[in-house]
Chain A
Amino acid sequence: MPVDHRRIRGPDESFSPRLFLPSGSAKCAAAEDRRSGDGARGNMDVRAIFARCGLVSQAKGSAYIEAGNTKVICSVYGPRETERRDETEMKRGKLLADVRLAPFSCRKRGQWIQGTEEKDLSQFLLESLRPGVLLQKYPRSQIEVCVMVLENDGAFLAHAVTCASLALADAGIEMYDVVMGCAARRSGDAVLLDPTFAEEHDEHPSPSGKESRLTLALMPAMNQVSGLQAEGEMDAESLVEAARACMEGCYKLYPVVQQTLLKSVRKKAPPPES
């Protein structure tokens, strides 16, 4: 394994204290029922989100989203001239996405070096956002979307999509529609919308043993799905059901996102002359 010479290094090997929990006690915290653990939230409810635009002073556009304890910040730079001219298509702009998880954002400490997982997340984010952006309006330029997950308490990728599209809108990039993200976890017959970390990683198998996770990105005004990924075990019907639930979830959050954008636009608008 290559050694990172550009960061201060700790011991060669260190272990999360969670690996040494006395057996038995480890998972009890995770297996709580949603209703008892999360106040009045039903299985099909999404967490209330707190969103705000324009927090990063240096960026063209930025947004911050908090859903429960999941915290995501995103900034957008550009459009600016593409760096690598050779491989770019001249007629359309290029969208770049970079998703990073802060090392302290998960239960287990992450590494700074971008792993394959983060690249995959970036890819999903990119493919979810791209249908929403009018890239043909930005020939020869590139737009960079940088996302940092500060705390992962479940469904961070879905919220990263929403956050990134808010930041794009804040940057004044032309878009067909905002892109909303929502995630669901299926365990047996139950669908849990917008799951928390504990719900996502519930180790107790359901009676039927089928578990799956799904993340969906939706453009609500156009009713188009721009991103979809699911893994685990599921039959087609339950997959469709979970996808529909996620779409519902997106529609529920849509007004909040609209309000957030309106608010940031109003703030930028010059005061009415009176």
Chain B
Amino acid sequence: MAEEASHTFLRQFGCEQSLLSKPDGSASYFQGDTNVLSGVYGPAEVKVSKEIYDRATLEVLIQPKVGLPSVRERAREQCVRETCEAVLLSTLHPRSSLTLILQVIHDDGSLLSCCLNAACMALMDAGLPMSCLFCGITCSISVDGQIITDPTAEQEKESRALMTFAIDSAQKGVLMATTKGSFSVTELQECIAVSQKASERIFQFYRDSVFRRYSKIL
């Protein structure tokens, strides 16, 4: 599925949708050895304390591979939640709840971007209305200044800086950004450009997989 290009190398990635029967939408997304399983419940009844009168309440839970979620997971949850909220047309389901659960199966780098991709696929599978799609891309800048997209855990460790972006499919704008390590502004702009380029491939993949599915059903 993946091909090697000079700049926008992505590890092999793929996805299986609707693999779980209980959730309203589910997906298992892998990129390289990193694998995340996601499930969406909703729109459903919402607790009164969490009810928002003009839109749906979205909750995101990230379960790490081992142990209980900690502060790091909570920060990631916030990133995923606010990204989803930006594209979901949640005003169409006021006073209801949406729950997105992301179970980390294996982490071999670029975990947050894999979470984002799995989330997007699951939301699509659940048939929730969205203004556009989004995808996650992680870039790392190695010590010698090289930009590596979709790094492995090993590459992440050796990198000088690490950035994860969520790119929307409509304008290729940056929905979410979170970084680690220090870098110059030019490097940042370069990374964004690379990510935008790489996102096209993921969006194409989204489209293909949906076509494939629906052509079977219809």
A8 smallest CB distance to B (angstroms): 5
B65 smallest CB distance to A (angstroms): 15
Q: Is B173 an interface residue (CB 8 A)?
A: no
A237 smallest CB distance to B (angstroms): 54
- Chain B residues within an 8 Å CB radius of A6: 70-71, 74
Q: Is A7 an interface residue (CB 8 A)?
A: yes
Within A17-37, the residues touching B (CB, 8 Å) are none
Q: Is A267 an interface residue (CB 8 A)?
A: no
Q: Is B69 an interface residue (CB 8 A)?
A: yes
Q: Is A5 an interface residue (CB 8 A)?
A: yes
In angstroms, Cα B74 to Cα A8, docked, is 11
- Report A's interface with B, CB cutoff 8 A: 5-9
Within B39-82, the residues touching A (CB, 8 Å) are 68-71, 74
- Chain B residues within an 8 Å CB radius of A7: 71
- Report B's interface with A, CB cutoff 8 A: 68-71, 74
In angstroms, Cα B70 to Cα A5, docked, is 5
A146 smallest CB distance to B (angstroms): 20
In angstroms, Cα B72 to Cα A8, docked, is 8
Pull 7 A–B residue pairs with CB atoms less than 8 Å apart, ordered by A.
A5-B68, A5-B69, A5-B70, A5-B71, A6-B70, A8-B71, A9-B70
Residue of A nearest to B70 (CB): A5
Q: Which of A5, A6, A7 has the most CB of B within 10 A?
A: A5
4 further A-B pairs in the complex, CB-CB below 8 A; given A5-B70, A6-B74, A7-B71? A5-B69, A6-B70, A8-B71, A9-B70
In angstroms, Cα B64 to Cα A231, docked, is 48
- Chain A residues within an 8 Å CB radius of B70: 5-6, 9
A166 smallest CB distance to B (angstroms): 32
Report, nearest first, the 4 A-B pairs whose CB atoms are least far apart: A5-B70, A5-B68, A8-B71, A7-B71
A11 smallest CB distance to B (angstroms): 15
Residue of B nearest to A3 (CB): B68
- Chain B residues within an 8 Å CB radius of A5: 68-71
B84 smallest CB distance to A (angstroms): 22
